[in-house]
Amino acid sequence: MLWTNDLSVGVPEIDEQHKGLFACLARVEKAIDEKQRGSSVFFALDQLADYARIHFAVEEIEMRIHRYPDFDAHVEQHRTFESRVKQFSEEALHRNVFEDVRDFLNNWLVEHIQIADKAYAPYLVAGNTGAGAGGNT
Ligand SMILES: [Fe+2]
Ligand SMILES: [Fe+2]
């Protein structure tokens, strides 16, 4: 799974970070596909978690600055993702991680970007700091 143009949220800095997340995901998938040792999958998931933590922090700061109204729900999605990745990486040490892990990660990331990230992005683009919606006309 690769980042494609239709995943662009219109904010270059955020798009670059999303590409980075997909690169991390590709490493997780590779480790799973090649049936590498659990520690390889664990390490790849750990890198994904690190990268995601930084990316989510950036988004959350930007949403705060621009007073995004659905901040709480968005942050909750980030926390859910983090706890699932942590759970997967712990499981990876003890058993084979299955296809459903890669499916979950891919589906979550694509859906989160397409719906949740695309919802806050116009607030950043418009330089909105709270007065009304910053969406497209
Ligand atoms: Fe997000
Ligand atoms: Fe994002």
Both ends of the chain: CA-CA distance in Å? Answer: 32
Residues of the chain by 3-state class (helix, strand, coil), percent to 5: 75, 0, 25
CA 60 to centroid of ligand 2, rounded, Å: 9
Structural contact between residues 85 and 56, judged by C-beta atoms closer than 8 angstroms: no
0.75 exceeded by the pTM? yes
Question: What per-residue confidence (pLDDT) applies to 47?
Answer: 95
Question: What per-residue confidence (pLDDT) applies to 122?
Answer: 93
Tokens linked to 107: 């589906």
CA 18 to centroid of ligand 1, rounded, Å: 10
CA-closest candidate to residue 137, choices 117, 122, 119, 124: 122
Question: What per-residue confidence (pLDDT) applies to 134?
Answer: 42
For residue 15, the ligand closest to its alpha carbon is: 2
Q: 125 in helix, strand or coil?
A: helix
Q: Where are the domains of the chain?
A: 12-125
Question: What per-residue confidence (pLDDT) applies to 16?
Answer: 97
CA-closest candidate to residue 7, choices 15, 59, 125: 15
CA 108 to centroid of ligand 2, rounded, Å: 11
Tens of pLDDT, residues 70-103: 999 999 999 999 999 999 988 888 776 667 788 8
Tens of pLDDT, residues 97-136: 667 788 899 999 999 999 999 999 999 987 666 544 444 4
The CATH homologous superfamily to which domain 12-125 belongs is: Hemerythrin-like (1.20.120.50)
**pLDDT at 64 > cutoff 60:** yes
DSSP conformational letter for 82: H
